[in-house]
Amino acid sequence: MIRLDNISLTFPGFAIENIDLTIREKDFFALIGPTGSGKSVLLEIIMGLIPFSSGKLLFKEKDMGQTPVEKRRLALVYQDFALFPHLSVAHNILYGIRYHGIKKDEGHKRLDDLTNILGLKRILDRKPHNLSGGEKQRVALARALILNPAVLLLDEPLSALDPEFHGEAKNLLKQIHQDMGMTIVMVSHNFGDVMYLANRGAVIHQGRICQTGDITTLFEKPDSLFTARFVGMKNIMPARILQGNVRIEGSDAVIETSVVPDIEQGYMGIRPEDIVLLSQGADNPGNSANRFCGTITRVASQGMFVEVRVESGSLNFEAAWPRRYLRDLQIAPGREATIAFSPQSVHIFQHQPY
Amino acid sequence: MIRLDNISLTFPGFAIENIDLTIREKDFFALIGPTGSGKSVLLEIIMGLIPFSSGKLLFKEKDMGQTPVEKRRLALVYQDFALFPHLSVAHNILYGIRYHGIKKDEGHKRLDDLTNILGLKRILDRKPHNLSGGEKQRVALARALILNPAVLLLDEPLSALDPEFHGEAKNLLKQIHQDMGMTIVMVSHNFGDVMYLANRGAVIHQGRICQTGDITTLFEKPDSLFTARFVGMKNIMPARILQGNVRIEGSDAVIETSVVPDIEQGYMGIRPEDIVLLSQGADNPGNSANRFCGTITRVASQGMFVEVRVESGSLNFEAAWPRRYLRDLQIAPGREATIAFSPQSVHIFQHQPY
Amino acid sequence: MVFSLPVILLLTVPLIKMTTGPSLAMLWETLGDKDVLLAIARSLGLSLTAGLLAFAFGTPLSYLLARKDFPGKKIIEGIIDLPVMIPHPVVGIAILSLAGRTHAFGRFLSGMGIEIMGTRTGIVTVLIFVGIPFYVNTVKAGFESVPVRLEYASRTLGAGTFETFRRVTLPLTWRHMVLGIIMCTARAISEFGAVVIVAYHPMTAPVMIYERFTAYGLKYSQPVAVWLILLSLALFIVLRMMSRSAVQYHR
Amino acid sequence: MVFSLPVILLLTVPLIKMTTGPSLAMLWETLGDKDVLLAIARSLGLSLTAGLLAFAFGTPLSYLLARKDFPGKKIIEGIIDLPVMIPHPVVGIAILSLAGRTHAFGRFLSGMGIEIMGTRTGIVTVLIFVGIPFYVNTVKAGFESVPVRLEYASRTLGAGTFETFRRVTLPLTWRHMVLGIIMCTARAISEFGAVVIVAYHPMTAPVMIYERFTAYGLKYSQPVAVWLILLSLALFIVLRMMSRSAVQYHR
């Protein structure tokens, strides 16, 4: 649907370099990265608000680089929503219809539909400055959706909302994607949100793409240290691959993995929630090749789960277990614990410089 | 250590009403609430930056209401850190020593210690605008800690940091609390952070205290609908208490609970992670009095866990299970599932108006 | 608080004293003087002309300065602020030196039938010179207070640049433009030093006040001064009210 | 861009034309004229005095306006902006009407030996009147640019209010104060209409330019005007450079 082909752009003190991206029809595509990584700039490049210096931007295989913003049939919803302060909610939503050849009747019909779906009926006559964050967002979405855009671009759609509205807004975006069959590109720095919403994505760091693909793949098989840390991979240890097994540097431990990569040296990572506690009443995974006995050295509560550190010889494992274990299984520092993780949860990746 | 006794204060369009709070020595006390609830104002009242209109503020049982800010021996670290832009990092940190009768030698010794602990050695000569968010925060902490304050007040200490620095900063605060044996009062709207750091807290909503006590109690036994929602309680259903059992309104279901409150009508809530899946290879809690058979209607990924909705008759349960279940137990919409939860995880609370 | 009192007193006491000085009868009598009315009307008319010309020529410049970055922008901004710093008679002399017939430009002007010395054209030119910084800076601040993202949002919704200006930028900044016109006009009304060089006649109100002062003394200049000050104050109050409503959208 | 050109040309061409008009020899000769040098020095000296007095009396007021909310604040802010709107000769007449011996205050002043008409005291009073808005508004903006939280932070670290001002607020705003003094001084140097009413003598540079213009014509007033404009431009350039460094901490 949208393809970025080797796009580069240099600002003073910042550069976007050789970006290749393909966004497919009906994708919910996430551009993920820390603040200042250049992900919002990519959104503005796709929208046509910022010109790029080299490369190609294709839309349905046609070059879109020279198309003016207002002709692209893309819609962008900004993080701060950018509602027109002098117009009522209704007039904000109807703003664009005249430029898309939508008749007045049709426009009002769509307005009706959208206000029903988004629950905006009661606030149609209000001015934006009287709205809550969640309401503002829904108005901004309605203003974009009424035009039936080919692609919806979202700039950090959830970060300006209070935590109370967070869950609701997330569900709304998911619903829009599913019900309207829309292609969505979202910028986010929160991997939890991305996991919930997107099906594909790209991790961006310092103006370059680190990794792109299915969200599950990014999450489970990060191919660089940066991506691994960013998606919450823990238990990252330097490793050496010997005869199909992983040997941790500075330890005798040999670890089984299901996918043996074609490298000699790299890093091993295991997601903390993939490390299970072998104990009466807790998980008993069928196949637990990798078993370690150790001592619990730290238990820290993280809301619905607890972060537990287990020391086994010279190795330190970090696991995330349900909070209930504290009560039901008397997890506490100083206790012995046997932990295990399946070969599928052992991920090997190379250390890349960025 | 610090006691707020019936403190009230009215601003145009906003009021703090009848606040009673006790912060004990060595507490890590959290003031929790949504944006605009008045929690930061409480911090400034304790610090003496905002005068209150009625009530008493006691410090070690002595009235502190009239003590000027600079004599209170409290330290406040602002959300945006409020570093002095014209002074180097070293001079920022040393700013207050002359007012606390700390000799120059002693001041430099403490500076040395703190820069070692907080890893500020390399940046001592820099000006604040050259620092990253995490560095700024550590400088602000050092500037406060060098004075050995009786109490450290933190205003949303984590929300101005990029997600990458979040975990590190959280550990640092925990370490400061543990190693220095300091009393800390923190304002936060993120319950995850509060769970990790604080031992006691108060939930604030619209200028009033909803609930105060141990963090675990707030988390597990919210006593109002607001607190329950705020701490992530799910499966909230209107309930009636009959003969020591809970009966869900509009359903035949009877649910066992371990603590029967002395009310007739109210709400039931169960944390989503307390609902377990009865299945080969998954959790098998010893005592599962509350069992429900149903169908999985929705599975949504939330990062390291998945949010699963199970429909059983007229009831809808929401559970949070490890991500691994997707792979190991083939959790998917449409599948049958038997769920259970222990009587200890069934919480009953009254609906309070605020 | 007490330290601030001298400043407040200095700014208010003389004005109050002066406006309450002349008797009502004298003020009324002055209104009957056709020359006075004419001079005040002329001051207001020429100043408003300067304000409107500032609007016509200053608006594009303000937009340019608020929205674009280009080499030499700092210098242009400096040039805009310059008139405030130029001694008033010097402004008059500089404008006059434009029109000298010894220069090509001067000959070109007189060839076009444009006279500066002693004409309304000359006065308006001088008034634009002293008033334009007030217009440009006010309207520039107005444009700057409209987030670029609002204009971008409009374009993503299909509106072209002109439509975006008409439907988003203009509704959010016309108050600043009115404000700028009033400020420029008020500044122009108050000008004396530059005007008196370029044109003693046709006589503007400040020149008349000066003439009456030198010819007949303080007492006879006061009534005219009071009427002029009431006009300025009226403009000033409209201005303060406008400027509150101009910022209302930008909280 | 093209639309903005007339404004830029209007502001630059006359000044360039005028400063390049007189020959170097004439400019040099003017410098030999003791009266001219004295008038320029007097203008600078009296204006600087006004600037320094604005600093002394205006700083507490600026702090008050930047930091506190109190009933009547809007009115005080209005009063501060007033002088820009008052026609210049009217300012002179208002100040003079203060000193009339028919009033108690006038008699009090003359009893103190303070004369306004035709004295340096009178000129400085008038110059403060026209210059103080520039000082107060600049320094107020300076104080406003220092977040209150910085002052609060200082107090939580044990510094009292005075120490906080000395170690935090002052280091962050002294540039604005210097800037304010320069702006007030530059505005005072350019004043003519108010000064000429209060004191024709002792003669300031703008009055001298006017006198030479009326007595001998354009050509003889130009060299003095050029020297005065060079002084103003020098101040202006210092000002622009200062104002960049004044905002450097507030990115």
Is the Cβ pair C172, A85 closer than 8 Å? yes
Q: pLDDT at position B288, please?
A: 58
Residue of B77, B95, B143, B145 to mutate, testing the D interface (most D Cβ within 10 Å of its Cβ): B95
- How far apart CA A350 and CA A266 sit, in angstroms, is 5
Strands B265-270, B234-242: pairing kind: antiparallel
Summarize the confidence of residues B50-54 as an average pLDDT.
90
pTM, to two decimals: 0.87
Q: pLDDT at position D151, please?
A: 95
- Does residue A280 have a pLDDT over 70? no
The model's pLDDT over A343-354, given as tens digits with 9 standing for 90+, comes to 888 888 876 644
Higher pLDDT, residue A175 or A263:
A175
- CA B278, distance to chain mean position in Å, is 32
Summarize the confidence of residues B180-198 as an average pLDDT.
90
Chain D residues in contact with C233 (beta carbon < 8 A): 85
Which tokens is D5 given? 């050109």
Higher pLDDT, residue A341 or B280:
A341
Is the Cβ pair A49, C155 closer than 8 Å? yes
> Helices C218-246 & C24-32, crossing angle to 10 degrees?
90
- What SS3 state is found at A51? coil
Chain C residues in contact with A98 (beta carbon < 8 A): 158
Summarize the confidence of residues B223-240 as an average pLDDT.
85
- What SS3 state is found at D173? helix
Q: pLDDT at position B162, please?
A: 72
Does residue A309 come out as left (phi exceeding 0), alpha (psi in the -120 to 50 range) or beta? beta
pLDDT grade for A34, boundaries at 50, 70 and 90: confident
CA distance to A89, A192, A276, B27, C16, per residue, from B320 (Å): 37, 14, 16, 31, 75
Which tokens is D134 given? 């520039």
Phi, psi of B119 (to 5 degrees): 65, 45
C74 touches chain A (CB under 8 A): no
Chain D residues in contact with C11 (beta carbon < 8 A): 79-80, 82-83, 129, 132
Summarize the confidence of residues A85-112 as an average pLDDT.
94
CB pairs under 8 A between A and C: 64
Q: pLDDT at position B284, please?
A: 54
Q: pLDDT at position C251, please?
A: 36
Residue of D3, D44, D65, D85 to mutate, testing the C interface (most C Cβ within 10 Å of its Cβ): D85
Summarize the confidence of residues A12-31 as an average pLDDT.
91
- Does residue B169 have a pLDDT over 80? yes
Ranking A244-248, B201-205, C213-217 by mean pLDDT, the lowest is A244-248
Cis peptide preceding D133, ω within 30 of 0 = no
Q: Which residues of chain A approach chain B closer than 8 Å at the C-beta?
A: 34-35, 162-164, 174, 189-192, 195-196, 219, 229-230, 232, 271-274, 276, 281-286, 300-305, 320, 322-324, 327-328, 344-345
Phi, psi of B325 (to 5 degrees): -55, -35
Residue C40 neighbours by CB under 8 Å, 6+ apart: C205, C224, C227, C228, C231
pLDDT grade for D113, boundaries at 50, 70 and 90: confident
In 3D space, the residue among A34, A59, A295, A265 whose CA is nearest the CA of residue A156 turns out to be: A34
Q: pLDDT at position A75, please?
A: 93
The model's pLDDT over B141-155, given as tens digits with 9 standing for 90+, comes to 999 999 999 999 999
Q: How far is A237 from chain B (nearest CA, A)?
A: 18
Q: How far is B313 from chain D (nearest CA, A)?
A: 56
D169 touches chain B (CB under 8 A): no
Residue of A40, A49, A131, A148 to mutate, testing the C interface (most C Cβ within 10 Å of its Cβ): A49
Residue % of chain D over a pLDDT of 70: 96
Interface ipTM: 0.84
- What SS3 state is found at B247? strand
First to last CA, chain A: 28
The model's pLDDT over D21-37, given as tens digits with 9 standing for 90+, comes to 777 888 888 888 899 99
The DSSP code sequence of C46-78 is HHHHHHHHHHHHHHHHHHHHHH---TTHHHHHH
Averaging pLDDT over each range in A94-108, B219-233, D111-125, which range is the top one?
A94-108
Residue D167 DSSP symbol: I
In 3D space, the residue among D132, B326, B188 whose CA is nearest the CA of residue A303 turns out to be: B188
Is the Cβ pair A192, B230 closer than 8 Å? no
Is the Cβ pair D93, C225 closer than 8 Å? yes
- The beta-carbon neighbor of B74 closest among D149, D150, D156 is D156
- Does residue B95 have a pLDDT over 60? yes
- What SS3 state is found at B262? coil
Residue A55 neighbours by CB under 8 Å, 6+ apart: A4, A5, A6, A7, A8, A18, A19
Does residue D72 come out as left (phi exceeding 0), alpha (psi in the -120 to 50 range) or beta? left
Q: pLDDT at position C250, please?
A: 44
Chain C residues in contact with D186 (beta carbon < 8 A): 84-85
The DSSP code sequence of D5-35 is HHHHHHHHHHHHHHHHSS-HHHHHHHHH-HH
- How far apart CA B351 and CA B272 sit, in angstroms, is 20
- How far apart CA C128 and CA C191 sit, in angstroms, is 11
- What SS3 state is found at B75? strand
Residue D230 DSSP symbol: H
Chain B residues in contact with D250 (beta carbon < 8 A): 85
Is the Cβ pair A34, B189 closer than 8 Å? no
Q: What size, in residues, is chain C?
A: 251
Is the Cβ pair D159, B82 closer than 8 Å? no
- How far apart CA A320 and CA D120 sit, in angstroms, is 82
- The beta-carbon neighbor of A273 closest among B196, B322, B342 is B322
- Residue with the two structure tokens 């910085």: D150
- The beta-carbon neighbor of B189 closest among A163, A283, A323 is A163
Q: pLDDT at position D251, please?
A: 36
Residue C248 DSSP symbol: G
Which tokens is A340 given? 């295990």
Please tell me which chains touch A, using 3 or more CB pairs under 8 Å as the contact test.
Answer: B, C
Is the Cβ pair A82, C157 closer than 8 Å? no
Ranking A165-169, C168-172, C177-181, D41-45 by mean pLDDT, the lowest is A165-169
Q: pLDDT at position A225, please?
A: 82
- How far apart CA B262 and CA B269 sit, in angstroms, is 16
Q: How far is B114 from chain A (nearest CA, A)?
A: 24
Chain B residues in contact with D168 (beta carbon < 8 A): 84
Task: Tell me how crowded residue B291 is: count the other CB atoms within 10 A of its CB.
Answer: 11
B/C touch flag: 3 or more CB pairs below 8 Å: no
Residue C169 DSSP symbol: I
Is the Cβ pair C190, D7 closer than 8 Å? no
Q: What string of pLDDT tens digits covers the 251 residues of chain C?
A: 677 888 888 888 888 888 887 778 888 888 888 999 999 999 999 999 999 999 999 999 999 999 998 888 888 988 898 898 899 999 999 988 887 666 777 778 888 888 888 899 999 999 999 999 999 999 999 999 999 999 999 999 999 999 999 999 999 999 999 999 999 999 999 999 999 999 998 999 999 999 999 999 888 888 888 888 888 888 888 888 877 766 554 43
Summarize the confidence of residues B325-345 as an average pLDDT.
86
Q: pLDDT at position D213, please?
A: 92
- Does residue B222 have a pLDDT over 70? yes
Summarize the confidence of residues B48-72 as an average pLDDT.
91
pLDDT grade for D250, boundaries at 50, 70 and 90: very low
Higher pLDDT, residue D31 or D1:
D31
CA distance to B4, B15, B45, C219, per residue, from B8 (Å): 10, 7, 10, 60
Q: pLDDT at position A288, please?
A: 57
- Residue with the two structure tokens 């499966």: B235
Cis peptide preceding D89, ω within 30 of 0 = no
Angle at A282 between CA B167 and CA A326, to 5 degrees: 50
Residue % of chain B over a pLDDT of 90: 43
Averaging pLDDT over each range in A95-104, B299-308, C80-89, D83-92, which range is the top one?
A95-104
Chain D residues in contact with C105 (beta carbon < 8 A): 13, 17
Higher pLDDT, residue B185 or C234:
B185
Residue A203 DSSP symbol: E
Q: pLDDT at position C246, please?
A: 60
Q: pLDDT at position A185, please?
A: 96
Q: How far is A338 from chain B (nearest CA, A)?
A: 16
- Does residue A303 have a pLDDT over 80? no
- The beta-carbon neighbor of B191 closest among A34, A286, A303 is A303
Helices (H) and strands (E) in chain A, counts: 9, 20
D/B touch flag: 3 or more CB pairs below 8 Å: yes
- How far apart CA A230 and CA A137 sit, in angstroms, is 27
Phi, psi of B241 (to 5 degrees): -100, 120
C118 touches C153 (CB < 8 A): no
Higher pLDDT, residue B283 or D231:
D231
Residue of B259, B301, B329, B342 to mutate, testing the A interface (most A Cβ within 10 Å of its Cβ): B301
Q: pLDDT at position D99, please?
A: 76
In 3D space, the residue among C113, C130, C222 whose CA is nearest the CA of residue C185 turns out to be: C130
pLDDT grade for D101, boundaries at 50, 70 and 90: low
